[in-house]
Amino acid sequence: MKREMIIVLDFGGQYNQLIARRVRECNVYCEVHPYTLSLDKIKEMNPKGIIFTGGPNSVYKDESPRCAKEIFDMGIPILGICYGAQLIAYMMDGKVSTAPVSEYGKVEVDVEADSKLFENVSSKTVCWMSHTDYIEKAPEGFSITAHTPACPVAAMECEEKGLYAVQLHPEVMHTQEGAKMLSNFVYNVCKCSGDWKMDSFVEASIESIREKVGDGKVLCALSGGVDSSVAAVMLSKAVGKQLTCVFVDHGLLRKDEGDEVEAVFGPDGPYDLNFIRVNAQNRFYDKLAGIEDPERKRKVIGEEFIRVFEEEAKKIGKVDFFVQGTIYPDVIESGLGTSAVIKSHHNVGGLPEHVDFKEIIEPLRLLFKDEVRKAGLELGIPEYLVYRQPFPGPGLGVRIVGAITPEKVWIVQEADAIYREEIRKAGVDKELGQYFAALTNMRSVGCMGDERTYDYAIALRAVLTSDFMTAESAELPWEVLGAATRRIVNEVKGVNRVLYDCTGKPPATIEFE
Ligand code: XMP
């Protein structure tokens, strides 16, 4: 049976898979394809609509990605988002230029006209913007349907041709009525009927893993974080004792975390797994000594990880498959496809070229964090594990700005433990997407007990997010920040100043490196 579909054409934006996911949430099947997809292929796929994604380029530069102009004459409705919107404007002879004022983050958008795209959307609506170029002048035949103080054409359309363009990002959760806009596009504009339901991802994955692995041996990199725990339990359901989980304590874990992970996945925990803990702290500290560059640090940690696994694998005997809990934001932010590299997530871009396994299995590669959690619950993993704070593979390595030393690791572990305890005590933890302490590389002058100090500044961070692609800094109660600050400077030697990070993502990222 032919089902209706929307195609997302990828121009290198950070949120491409998120757009596809939002469309699927409208019960319409959606796939992401490179912008180079041929018109013949598009015709063959017979989509009900096409979405152009954002991207890091400027449309007016010669080398920038473009599609064939004939795409606009195919009679298929098109929605351009950000770069995609600018591309429509540029190719239809409008004007795109560098905006006098860039907009990053939340912006109130005035929706001006009676557009199918904005049906039931408030006339003033909070949207997420992230752009340096803008549409200065809409092409002839297009009407402007939204604007902001800095952006005269925040949305435009030519209803007759089925062309719609928005500078804002309807796919991210911080665009408050974004889901409505995308739903309007697929239902009002593309006339979809909504014939697609999300298959049981977990069941299908277990089945395909079983088929792929056969009677091979599998090694899983278990960090104890949500993603790798879900991947490990999924693999364990698929192949049972053919799986061995290796947990590397790289010395960059949160306070007491090594023991906590062992308590859950080790021999005394609820799972029947082959579990190996490798204490490799000094090995990592030696390799990282003196390295300041964030990307270099990530690569060193990633590479050392793989080497440790390879060694463990050799001890086990022939290992065919290696499992990682990579999730979608890790893939996209490591700059695969046409997206810009934001940072090399250690289980993707940080992989060394030579990896001594037949194949790598990443069963969560297309999921977002909240979807991983749903999969975890479906697998019967207890809620307290599923809703753990996300923790990056390179651990505190990306929460210590600059070179890593054991002393700095101790400082950030202690400060972070205090901060998390104060947040939990205040009962605000459930509302937050992620919260942690980081060690800035800044030292400054203080005065403690009549003595001059010259010590480090700790940065506290708490963000609201569910997809981890965009985030807002949380407005924590002052008492919580005050209590954490007092305890950190009193209890953690080497710290004399505590700062709160008020930045969203974008323009910052959640982690510091
Ligand atoms: P950023 O800092 O990129 O983080 O805004 C987004 C989310 O991803 C987590 N993160 C990582 N997870 N390996 C991981 O498994 C990594 O290298 C990595 N770097 C960041 C981060 O904690 C946040 O939840």
Which of 413, 418, 420, 410 has the alpha carbon at shortest distance from 389?
420
Q: Average pLDDT of the chain?
A: 90
Model pLDDT for residues 183-222, shown as the tens digit of each residue: 999 999 999 998 776 455 688 789 889 999 999 999 888 8
Note the pLDDT of residue 331: 62
Closest ligand 1 atom to residue 342 Cα is 3
Q: Residue range 260-273: average pLDDT?
A: 84
- CA–centroid distance, residue 230 to ligand 1 (Å): 16
Ligand 1 and 322: CB distance under 6 A: no
Note the pLDDT of residue 8: 94
Question: Where is pLDDT greater, at 335 or 89?
Answer: 89
Q: Where do you find CATH 3.40.50.620 in the chain? A: 198-386
Q: What is the 3-state secondary structure (H, E, C) of 436-456?
A: EEEEEEEEEEEEECCEEEEEE
- CA–centroid distance, residue 316 to ligand 1 (Å): 30
CB atoms within 10 A of CB 135: 29
pTM: 0.65
- C-alpha–C-alpha distance, residues 151 and 99, integer Å: 8
Which of 462, 507, 345, 466 has the alpha carbon at shortest distance from 22?
466
- CA–centroid distance, residue 511 to ligand 1 (Å): 6
Note the pLDDT of residue 2: 52
**Residue whose CA is at the smallest distance from ligand 1 atom 21:** 392
Model pLDDT for residues 401-452, shown as the tens digit of each residue: 999 999 999 999 999 999 999 999 999 998 899 999 999 999 999 998 889 9
Note the pLDDT of residue 349: 44
Note the pLDDT of residue 203: 80
Does the annotation mark 169 as catalytic?
A: yes
Does the annotation mark 171 as catalytic?
A: yes
Lowest mean pLDDT among 112-116, 197-201, 387-391: 197-201
Which homologous superfamily is 5-189 in?
A: Class I glutamine amidotransferase (GATase) domain (3.40.50.880)
Which homologous superfamily is 198-386 in?
A: HUPs (3.40.50.620)
Model pLDDT for residues 458-509, shown as the tens digit of each residue: 999 999 987 788 899 999 999 999 999 999 999 999 999 999 999 999 999 9
Q: Where do you find CATH 3.40.50.880 in the chain? A: 5-189
Ligand 1 and 326: CB distance under 6 A: no
The 10 Å CB-count burial string (b at 16+, else e) for 163-194 is bbbbbbbbbbbbbebbebbbbbbbbbbbebee
- C-alpha–C-alpha distance, residues 467 and 385, integer Å: 18
- CA–centroid distance, residue 203 to ligand 1 (Å): 27
- CA–centroid distance, residue 336 to ligand 1 (Å): 15
With cut-offs at 50, 70 and 90, classify the pLDDT of residue 333: low
Which of 30, 127, 157, 169 is catalytic? The answer is 169
Model pLDDT for residues 32-73, shown as the tens digit of each residue: 888 999 999 999 999 999 999 999 999 999 999 999 999 999
Ligand 1 and 349: CB distance under 6 A: no
Structure tokens at 485: 């600050």
Res. 356: pLDDT tops 80 = no
Which CATH entry fits the domain spanning 405-500: 3.40.50.880, 3.30.420.130, 3.30.300.10, 1.10.10.10?
3.30.300.10
Res. 81: pLDDT tops 60 = yes
Q: Where do you find CATH 3.30.300.10 in the chain? A: 405-500
**Residue whose CA is at the smallest distance from ligand 1 atom 11:** 392
The torsion angles phi and psi of 299, rounded to 5 degrees, stand at -65, -40
Ligand 1 and 346: CB distance under 6 A: yes
Res. 11: pLDDT tops 90 = yes
Does the annotation mark 354 as catalytic?
A: no
